[in-house]
Amino acid sequence: MPTYLKTPVATVSDAIASRDEVAATVRDVIADIRENGDSAVRAYSEKFDNWSPESFRLSPQQIDEIVATVPEQVIRDIEFVQAQVRNFATKQRESVVDFEVETLPGVRLGQKNIPIQAVGAYVPGGRYPLTASAHMTIVTAKVAGVPRVVACTPPIRGEIPAATVAAMAMAGADEIYLLGGVQAIAALTVGTETIEKVNLLAGPGNAYVAEAKRTLFGEVGIDLFAGPTEILVIADDDADPFVVAVDLLSQAEHGPDSPAVLVTTSESVARAAMAHIDEILVDMPTKDFAEPAWRNHGEVVVVDTLDEAFAVADSYASEHVEVLTAEPRQALDKMHDYGALFLGEGTCVSYGDKVIGTNHVLPTRGSARFTGGLWVGKYLKTVTYQEVTDLGSSAMLGELCGRAARVELFEGHARSGDVRAAKYRGATLSWTEHEFDTVGAGS
């Protein structure tokens, strides 16, 4: 039976009340932009970001001038990380294949994977210039073959985030806008006089951005529903409590509502990690986010066995699961509900966030129970096609279609089959009825 050494302070009702307030604001902004276009976009950019340039879209010359201000080491680091993301995304793309199969003589069924034609890549700003999100959203889209990628990022305290702009340009963005928040999401979805709408939105963001994506889903595709960043660490007696503490706080600093959970078979590791967290928070530069996140959303669970630890971790379906155990690869077989696994002390969630090459746009709030994170496949539409060239096959399928449709009382469907059965009846069959029955039975 699990023992809880620390439980969250924040309640579900608190979260619902906060979301209701956010949703009301988001609805108003979207409605205004839908009606008033660019003028509303500019008004909200002035209100929320104190930003109102002549054009929100950066020209090629402006992009070159901004990139030129970025230190050479930062440029080299961006190149390295984007190469890692591109390499992994390329392997993903290679795993998604088109095919065509002849299921009966002259009956060909096929699958194609077509890139979405226009994607909006949102790269958060606000407090932090989240450069890595440019790699994850734009590079992956380009590997998928998306011809038009529109990148948006907000100014940071009235300043241009030069490194982020560099990352977006180097990733291959076709258009770059210095525009953030709900106004960016709404403009990309409904279109304005100067911003052509897209077909899918990708990328993380704050509660307002997440709510805007949720509200507009259906009018536009989205990568996934996202909430505050989450981390869950599984630890046994072999785990270093200081590493556990550091890694929990590494994600807690994302925001005051970011859950950080420890599930461990060792009470001594748990208590030592909690003590380290208290010590680290004293002078942590991002304490104003990390401390309330840990206080209000942190949890520590002690269990009897690793199997129980894996089961408890699955019940959270956390975005990031870090496995600090003697045999971390056991989690690959034991677990099934998570956004991404980080196996062993040699890796950490921060590697996934920033440098290692897997995508950091991952499911939160339990949605890992039914979806994975952003990958090349999110930018592809898997479609099918059918062709029947054997007239005998078409006649037989027509007869079958007529019978099957009338069972469901769909007379129009039945007649589509009837007309082919009648027109092609008497055509030479290139297979026997016995062979047809065998194939139909799935042999």
Residue bearing tokens 């709404």: 186
Annotated catalytic residue within 175, 291, 319, 345: 319
Annotated catalytic residue within 135, 254, 320, 360: 320
Determine contact, residues 340/319, Cβ cutoff 8 Å. yes
Sheet strands side by side (includes 260-264): 3-6, 298-302, 260-264, 231-235, 320-324, 340-343
Q: Has 320 been annotated as catalytic?
A: yes
Determine contact, residues 340/310, Cβ cutoff 8 Å. no
State the Cα–Cα distance between residues 53 and 46, nearest whole angstrom. 9
State the Cα–Cα distance between residues 336 and 207, nearest whole angstrom. 27
Question: Strands 298-302 and 3-6: what pairing?
Answer: antiparallel
Q: Has 360 been annotated as catalytic?
A: no
State the Cα–Cα distance between residues 88 and 290, nearest whole angstrom. 31
State the Cα–Cα distance between residues 223 and 137, nearest whole angstrom. 10
Nearest to 124 by CA among 255, 297, 14, 258: 255
- The C-alpha angle 162, 226, 5, rounded to 5 degrees, equals 110
State the Cα–Cα distance between residues 266 and 262, nearest whole angstrom. 11
Which amino acid is present at 157? Answer: R
Q: Is 373 helix (H, G, I), strand (E, B) or coil?
A: coil
Could you give the residue numbers annotated as active site? 319-320
